[in-house]
Copies of this chain bind each other. A is one copy, B any other.
Amino acid sequence: MKDVALKAGVSIRTVSRVVNNLGEISEETRQHVQHVIDEIKYRPNHLARGLISGRTLSVGIIVPQISDPFFPEFIQGAEARGQEAGYSVLLCNTNEDPARELSHIETLQSKQVDGIILCGTRLSTPQLSALAEHQKMVMVTGQTPDYAAAVRIPGEEGISKVVHYLMDLGHTRIGHIGFTKQVTGERLEGYFAALEERGLPGNPSRTVITDQVSIENGKAAALKLLDQAPDTTAITCYNDMLAIGAIQACEERGLRVPGDISVTGFDDIPLASLIRPRLTTIRVDRFAAGNRAMDLLLNFITTGSPPVKRTTLDFSLVPRESTGSPAE
């Protein structure tokens, strides 16, 4: 900026006026300065700008696993919305490790991000509520935290809906493959709640919990479930990846899907409609979710008021080929 000022024969302040379109300047000097700017290709330094303005136009997004099919589209949605407002995205991967998550948060704060979108956190509630006091953030979770803004994934409602759908088809012996890392039950609770609404008993041996979301784990969990409760006629799963594994397990056991047993997922990842049988699942719009999260955060940032708002995403049941009426 000094160089521009020198070369244009004006003060630094005047250059600043041109760069920031501050008016209060004659059209003549304006054009002259702009000419010099283009000539020496001056680009404003966001660091210096952020240092004094207290805003960096950057936000952090922390996700457990970028390679989880849920997140690429989510991130794309968030980035797109952020870009409209001139914001950049700092992406952080935690690999489900709380320590790494914490260290990422510290780094982001050191980098003076204006806000953080925290997806599928593994931190404890006290940690989070303490954090939320000093850090503008939006959580993406199945929970309904009261200390921070959040975009809720309707896990409980979704699984509940799918269980009702299966019961409508005539199933009564319905199982569930859950995921430990959901901080509390959510989807698992939706499963039990739906059964209870119809007066069906929740049989613990029809429930298997796995600690990692992968096709392999889904397969292993389903095999275990089929051992524990061989008369199961339908398996609901925490998400699509586990469901795909569950289908493989059923086929390995000689069970036909959906002839002998029905399987359902959650998320509607691209894979879900490409495998055979096509997977019945719950769809949530991941791009829209990212949009919403960024929206909430930007509002928070610009208004400054902590909007302890929670917005629950829409979802819909997508019936496909992996479900049918039970055999008998």
Contact = CB atoms under 8 A, between A and B. Distances in A.
A75 interface: yes
A211 to B, nearest CB: 20
A128 interface: no
Contacts of A71: 72
Contact of A90 (B48, B51, B88, B244): B88
A76 B107 CA distance: 18
Contacts of A89: 90-92
The CB with the most chain B CB atoms within 10 A, among A43, A73, A91, A106, is that of: A91
Interface string A67-108: 100011101100110000000111111000000000000111
A44 interface: yes
Interface residues of A, number: 40
A48 B215 CA distance: 46
Given A80-B93, A89-B91, A107-B88, A112 B45 contact: yes
B56 A67 contact: no
B111 A88 contact: yes
A50 interface: yes
B66 A109 contact: no
A45 B52 CA distance: 12
A276 interface: yes
Nearest to A60: B88
A215 B271 CA distance: 12
Interface in A102-133: 106-112
20 contacts: A45-B112, A46-B110, A47-B48, A47-B51, A47-B56, A65-B76, A66-B73, A66-B79, A67-B72, A67-B76, A75-B91, A80-B93, A88-B90, A88-B107, A88-B108, A89-B92, A90-B91, A244-B274, A271-B271, A276-B276
Interface of A: 43-48, 50-51, 56, 58, 65-67, 71-73, 75-76, 79-80, 88-93, 106-112, 215, 244, 270-271, 274-276
Closest 8 CB pairs of A and B: A91-B91, A67-B72, A66-B72, A46-B110, A46-B111, A47-B51, A47-B47, A66-B76
